[in-house]
Amino acid sequence: MPQETILILGASFAGLGAAHYILKHILPALPKSGDTTYTVTLVNPSTDFYWRIAGPRATVSKALMPPAKYLYPIAPGFASYPKDSFTFIQGTATALSTSSRTATITLADGSTTSIPYHALIIATGTNTPAPQLSQHTTTAALTAALDDFQAALPKATSVIVAGGGPVGVETAGEIGEFLNGTPGFFGTKPAHPKAKVTLISGDKKLLPVLRPAIALTAEKYLARVGVDVVYDVRVTSAAAEAKAGQTAVTLADGSVRSADLYVDATGVRPNTAFLSSDLVNERGFVVCDPATLRVDAAGPRVYVVGDAGSYTRGGVMDLDNALPVVMTNLKKDLTGGSGPDRTYTPNNSEQQIVPVGRGKGVGAFGGWRVPSWFVWMIKGRDYLSSMAPDIVSGKKWAKESK
């Protein structure tokens, strides 16, 4: 009996969600008549899922953020599905032919294989310059990056974090509190700081999504843990100095700062090097129909979901809007259904939650500013890691989104 493959590239938040959704709600609903069956193939560089939301705290200490809270094996979450309906491949997409509708996958052992697809979901996401803040390749590489940083951190007397977005602010806050502690109840700075921690922002304010008043509060909370903020200058390069163990950080104004440790948290880069130039924009994000999330230039039944797509400003919360759109349109395309497509509406409201250290934070939901205690309660306690098991197991998508 002919078998058609629904290929999903990437097994982070978007890819895992897509795989579980298809297996739960789409394959069982396809017509039983005819000779064709469908299977889901999921490709990912690592056999584990990294809850990268916890990266800022995982960076500083396993005691504060144990690996069991941010690393989860992928395979057990799919054990309950019929064996002939799902295949997991540890590998990385290195080429895509839209004419032959095949993806070239470089496997963990360095060999390559070619996978034909009937439908394709690009969910390869993004990576960060600092290797401990996203999972670029294998769990071993991620763990090594975390171990190396944690071994060096207690001895550091100077740390530079580049990037004034949420990950930069969160990482600087965690490092500052780990090294310098917090002030007393009425204090504004640590009483006995042990390290000079500097956050360098290329913009005139922190946290571009949030209003200036919230950004200033974030700066105040950073000062509580001994973090100084430098505004309106970008890092142009960072390189090891002749002096052992230090990094020279060159800024756009020509100045050079030295630090024992340097963390590049200057945004994300899309994992789309395997795609041809006609499928991505000038920044490397996958160009799609912003309403249906189909990648029309790649042919029929090709979609993008998650941070690799040009349709989104990024963030895990956006998936709750985007993934059901892709899934509904995939189901329609597979069944030949009629009627209108499901369409995506971006949520561009002021919405972001940013812990600053282990006890403070700033943010807004739906345009409403929220207090520090609320940020701590929602995210600051464990960086939402209690939500990870439901994503890995597929429980999050147990119900079909109508």
Alpha carbons 133 and 182: distance in angstroms, whole number: 24
- Asked if the model's pLDDT at residue 33 lies above 80, the reply is no
Summarised one tens digit per residue, pLDDT across range 92-129 is 999 999 999 999 999 999 999 999 999 999 999 999 99
Global pTM?
0.95
pLDDT category, 314, cuts 50, 70, 90?
confident
Residue 243 token pair:
């002096």
CA 362, distance to chain mean position in Å, is 20
- Asked if the model's pLDDT at residue 32 lies above 90, the reply is no
Alpha carbons 295 and 312: distance in angstroms, whole number: 14
Residue type for 92, please?
A: T
Please return the burial class of 135, using the count of CB atoms within 10 Å of its CB with bins 0-12, 13-18 and 19+. Answer: buried
Radius of gyration of the chain (CA): 22
- Asked if the model's pLDDT at residue 339 lies above 70, the reply is yes
3-state DSSP call for residue 213? helix
Residue 190 token pair:
């640590």
Residue type for 241, please?
A: E
Reduced 3-state DSSP string for 175-190: HHHHHHCCCCCCCCCC
Cα distances (Å, whole numbers) of residue 195 to 178, 226, 263, 387: 10, 8, 15, 34
* DSSP run (H or E) holding 365: strand 360-365
In the chain, % of residues over pLDDT 90: 89
In the chain, % of residues over pLDDT 70: 99
- Asked if the model's pLDDT at residue 2 lies above 70, the reply is yes
- Side by side, the strands of the sheet bearing 368-369 are 352-356, 360-365, 368-369
Q: What is the mean pLDDT of residues 305-314?
A: 94
Residue 390 token pair:
């439901």
∠ CA 112-116-118, rounded to 5°? 150
pLDDT category, 1, cuts 50, 70, 90?
low
- Asked if the model's pLDDT at residue 5 lies above 80, the reply is yes
Residue 288 token pair:
């799609």
Residues of the chain with CATH 3.50.50.60: 3-128+268-346, 131-267+350-380
Alpha carbons 356 and 341: distance in angstroms, whole number: 41
Among the residue ranges 116-125, 202-211, 262-271, 335-344, the one predicted with the least confidence is 335-344
- Asked if the model's pLDDT at residue 26 lies above 80, the reply is yes
Alpha carbons 210 and 223: distance in angstroms, whole number: 19
| pLDDT at residue number 187 | 81
Summarised one tens digit per residue, pLDDT across range 209-244 is 999 999 999 999 999 999 999 999 999 999 988 667
Q: Which superfamily does 3-128+268-346 belong to? A: FAD/NAD(P)-binding domain (3.50.50.60)
Summarised one tens digit per residue, pLDDT across range 65-84 is 999 999 999 999 999 999 89
Beta carbons of 4 and 309 less than 8 angstroms apart: no
Q: What is the mean pLDDT of residues 146-159?
A: 97
Dmax over CA atoms of the chain, in Å, equals 74
Alpha carbons 95 and 93: distance in angstroms, whole number: 6
* DSSP run (H or E) holding 41: strand 37-44
Alpha carbons 171 and 177: distance in angstroms, whole number: 10
Taking domain 131-267+350-380, whether its CATH number is 3.50.50.60 is answered by yes
| pLDDT at residue number 240 | 87
Q: How many residues does the chain have?
A: 402
